Amino acid sequence: MSGGVRRVAVTGLGVVSPWGSDVDDFFARLLSGESAIRHFRTDDGHLSMSMPAVHCPEFDPAREVGRASAAMDRSAQMSFAASSQAWRQAGLPIPEQPDRGAAVYWGTALAGTLTYEQGYREMLLKGRERVPPLSLILGMNNAAASHLAIHFKLGGPCLTYTIACASAAAAIGEAWQAIRDGRCRVALTGGADSPMSLAVVRAWEALRVLAPVGERGAEAACRPFSRDRAGLVLAEGAAALVLEDWAHARARGATILAELAGYGCSCDASHLVKPSADGQYDAMQQALATAGVAAADIDYLNAHGTATREGDPIEIEAVRRLYGDHAVRLAVSATKSMHGHLMGATGATEALICVQALRHHAIPPTAHLDDLEPACEGVEHIRRPGVERRLRACMSNSFAFGGSNSVMVFRQPAAD
């Protein structure tokens, strides 16, 4: 495929969430300010953990994925379930032969963690000499993307992005670039993670950035931008988007949910864990420039907002610098306060939320934000549920350890 710059349409959405696998219900819960964070406990007789977390107890792989995929790592099962929803909504067929103009761009930070940990337990705790023979194949980072390409017959690029918490946002952004450049006409994109392994939890605990249950209980453990914020909350889940060349979507009569109009990426190139307002500013500025919109055209920003002591003020500093006088009128919320931090799936989940916000002209709040951190002032923080507002364009921020920044701009699907 070749030609000039193409517009990119969003034609399908899918999600695996703690409330089930329904995009509209997921968004409605967030609009109402409902928190999915619970006190998560596990104990298998050898190892245990207890912390605020977001788990997906209603996710049944046998029902949503089928017995043929039962051996997949949990993150790959979630990838498949969310992608199947998105593909159905897009109304695309599954061809008999691989479609070389259709691609997979997938994101994950911790794919295969549960598969590998189970293998280690078999060896170290049960004394077995071998792990299951497919452990390596099922646990590799690109397993989910490969499963998706095989099932949906996507014969174009099949790429996996692993840049910590910006993984899915980068995957979606790179899919957008591929369609814009004419390298494919359809892309199945998004991300998934299921980080509830003891090794991962202990590693996060060692960094001292996980929120405790606290006096307000597990449901209120994640409090972005709050003066008393105490850290992030781990979550599992998946989200998927179908992106299409605009002309291709229109020609086949697809319903266009939103336009992915801009994307920016940068690296702080300064520190492995401390974020930089300069790097975040650059990624946001690129997203505006590629979308061809001004800062004043953005009505809602879904912030990265993880509720860490350093991260939240730095993000707001970058936002204030970029948006200038418009910052005080920019609606901002951090939905991780309700759905937690899905690691590599976060960017896809929050991109889906932005599309839903545009479709419903409604903004989910930052839950539990009762006492605003002074360093986070200067924007319009959405704190109450059910805020309705005419939205033209939204920005979604994803920032990661390692200094990777990925930012997307979505807008209403205006006529050609």
pLDDT of 166 strictly over 60: yes
pLDDT at 44: 65
Alpha helix positions (H), 234-345 = 246-251, 277-291, 311-323, 336-339
- Range with the poorest average pLDDT among 77-81, 136-140, 348-352, 380-384: 136-140
Count the Cβ atoms, other than its own, within 10 Å of residue 127.
7
pLDDT of 1 strictly over 70: no
Mean pLDDT across 348-368: 98
- CATH fold group of domain 261-411: Peroxisomal Thiolase; Chain A, domain 1 (3.40.47)
Distance CA(113)–CA(122), nearest Å, equals: 14
Distance CA(308)–CA(400), nearest Å, equals: 12
- Rounded to two decimals, the pTM is 0.95
User: In whole numbers, what is the pLDDT of the chain averaged over residues?
Assistant: 93
Summarize pLDDT for 193-229 with one digit per residue, the tens.
998 888 888 888 999 999 999 889 999 999 999 999 9
Catalytic residue among 55, 339, 341, 368: 341
Question: pLDDT confidence of 45, banded at 50, 70, 90?
Answer: low
pLDDT at 198: 84
Mean pLDDT across 30-43: 93
pLDDT at 184: 98
pLDDT at 43: 72
pLDDT at 41: 85
pLDDT of 122 strictly over 90: no
**Angle at alpha carbon of residue 383, lines to 411 and 58, rounded to 5°:** 75
**Angle at alpha carbon of residue 401, lines to 397 and 406, rounded to 5°:** 30
Question: pLDDT confidence of 326, banded at 50, 70, 90?
Answer: very high
Q: Give the start-to-end residue ranges of the domains of the chain.
A: 8-251, 261-411
Distance CA(206)–CA(285), nearest Å, equals: 34
Question: pLDDT confidence of 140, banded at 50, 70, 90?
Answer: confident
User: What is the tally of helices (H) and strands (E) in the chain?
Assistant: 13, 16
pLDDT of 280 strictly over 90: yes
pLDDT at 2: 45
More confident residue, 334 or 415: 334
User: Is 8-251's fold the same as 261-411's?
Assistant: yes
- 248 part of the active site: no
pLDDT at 115: 80
More confident residue, 70 or 169: 169
pLDDT at 328: 98
Residue 246 φ/ψ, nearest 5 degrees:
-55, -50
Distance CA(158)–CA(148), nearest Å, equals: 9
pLDDT at 416: 61
Mean pLDDT across 12-18: 97
Count the Cβ atoms, other than its own, within 10 Å of residue 277.
18
Distance CA(340)–CA(54), nearest Å, equals: 6
Question: Using an 8 Å Cβ cutoff, are 234 and 264 in contact?
Answer: no
Summarize pLDDT for 361-413 with one digit per residue, the tens.
999 999 999 999 999 999 999 999 989 999 999 999 999 999 999 999 999 99
- 267 part of the active site: no
- Range with the poorest average pLDDT among 25-29, 145-149, 194-198, 339-343: 194-198
Catalytic residue among 147, 222, 265, 304: 304
DSSP label of 233: -
Mean pLDDT across 128-146: 82
pLDDT of 324 strictly over 60: yes
Of the candidate CATH numbers 3.40.50.12780, 3.40.190.10, 3.40.47.10, 3.40.50.10490, the domain formed by 8-251 belongs to: 3.40.47.10
Catalytic residue among 165, 184, 222, 354: 165
Summarize pLDDT for 57-115 with one digit per residue, the tens.
889 888 888 776 667 899 999 999 999 999 999 999 999 999 999 999 999 998 888 88
- 55 part of the active site: no
